[in-house]
Structure 1
Amino acid sequence: MTEERVTADERRRAEGEARDLVIITGMSGAGRSEAMHTFEDLGYFCIDNLPPALIQQLVELTALPGSRVQRVAVVCDARGREFFSELAAALDALESSGHPYRLVYLTADDRTLVRRFKETRRRHPLSDECSLADGIRAERELLAPFASRADVTIDTSDMRPSELKSLIRERFAPIDEESALTVAVSSFGFKYGLPVDADIVMDVRFLPNPYYVPRLRSRTGLERPVRAYVLDQPETEEFLGRWYALLDHLLPGYVREGKAHLHVALGCTGGQHRSVVLAEQTADHLRKAGYPVNVSHRDIAKDRSRE
């Protein structure tokens, strides 16, 4: 990064007007798509395969009064064909205007790139009239000026996708978000079907059911009598101890793998009593552990008068 860009960046941050711009380029097959998904998870406004000539317009658009877009990541690469030749001029224009940016260059060795293209059976953007190896060679020559100009170079030859995600999070996540994993905790009723987007599903139908206590049947797990009934059961106390220990073991692993969102769903028969109480308890435990948590109860308001 040039001295002018550092100075401009510091000035904008001091004025509270900094807008983080990340430009991603590099070899096809080196992980650009994975990188883009990671930036999306970090809250960046992302555009894939953007013609470089439009970068300045994007900067101006996000700088308009009232814009809430503070972080932008764009991918410019050889897929843009003749448009890609404008990238150098676009970077020069950003530097001349004093707008800070970071250029991320993703690469991998030729053998790895050939293997990845053969595994995915994708067409290399520069191999229409030549072999895959020749297309890779031509792309490397095309990108050489940007490889030397990059602020961050990442060689993904020996990286798993999760390792690339972790590295990007480490380098680009705001300090207070570096290890953030947003957790959605929900309750549901098995009789209404499983939540399709759940990552972890826990069946709590083995616990005593308040439904069979007449004074509790019409109440929900958000009400004190139902909560007391469920939590006072010896089976519940033992379950929560084991359940919390499992979550405490699993969630740091998801963080290390670069997962940004996790949905934990607890289900009982109707989604009105046991699962509601235990979803609330689970959410409280995870908040105390430092995770941002949202809690919801999918089936708590179902009209059971027709059942």
Structure 2
Amino acid sequence: MNDQPSQKSVEPARVVLVTGASGAGRSTAINALEDLGFEAIDNLPLSLVERLLDGPARSAPLALGIDVRNRDFSTDAMVALLDNLAADPDTSAELLYLDCRTDVLIRRYSETRRRHPLAPSETPDIGIAREMELLVSVRARADRLIETSELTVHDLKAEIGEKFGTAASVKLSISVESFSYKRGLPRGADMVLDVRFLANPHWEETLRDLDGRSPAVQTFVASDPRFADFFARTIDLTQSLLPAFKDEGKTSLTLAFGCTGGQHRSVALAEKAAKALAAAGWQVSTRHRELERRGLLGGPAAEMGMQT
């Protein structure tokens, strides 16, 4: 007979780090997470995050706003923090990145007549450009990315509710992503499919410099005899699982397609799958990780806001 006291398994502490372009809606996101039951702390210095997590256990998940204006902020420090949190078995950390087009940010600063924090004595567009460059590697590490250019405050709050809420009534949102196996699997992906077996447009000189958003590339990929059956089965499988995920209380799901370079086949599949799922009534967003890293996208792909 074991006299040792029984030990209950402890769930990892949930932490959502919220950052992004100044003016993209970070404060709104923090407030929305607080409304969902998160303990919210904004403008927390990076050096204090791990000390905070080493403190007394909390019953509520944490939402921590990270601002480039903090005196100890640096890209290297942020990436190191993300690596440390990912390696901590007692912590379940996610990075939420709020993004926005440059022209929209400029308009917002013009309307509020505020100075950009990285260009207090210069025009906002200079500060916006500096911040975008500073945050490139942080943005690439985002587990969840919300593009706020076309969102109102109420839209953004609803988006946060859908992605982070736990109520059974919360709608399930789907992110379809493309990536390169050379750079590793995408963080937070729920379903990953390898499409390297399809014919590679890279070896067609007229297609090499294009990417999977191009109709010519999509036609080439779809002409592979193995494509039609694979794609049909993938969509059927995904759609058969989505209601079950939703019934389990899951609020978001990431479907990722990978190929060698993350430029042609995976992008084409992600685009086609996103359109098929949106046409079926699901709320879908697309993201192309390697195109973002190479600066081939002005921002995350547009949301397809269709919902059952």
TM-score by length of 2: 0.50
Q: Which has the larger radius of gyration?
A: 1
Q: Which has the higher helix share?
A: 1
TM-score by length of 1: 0.50
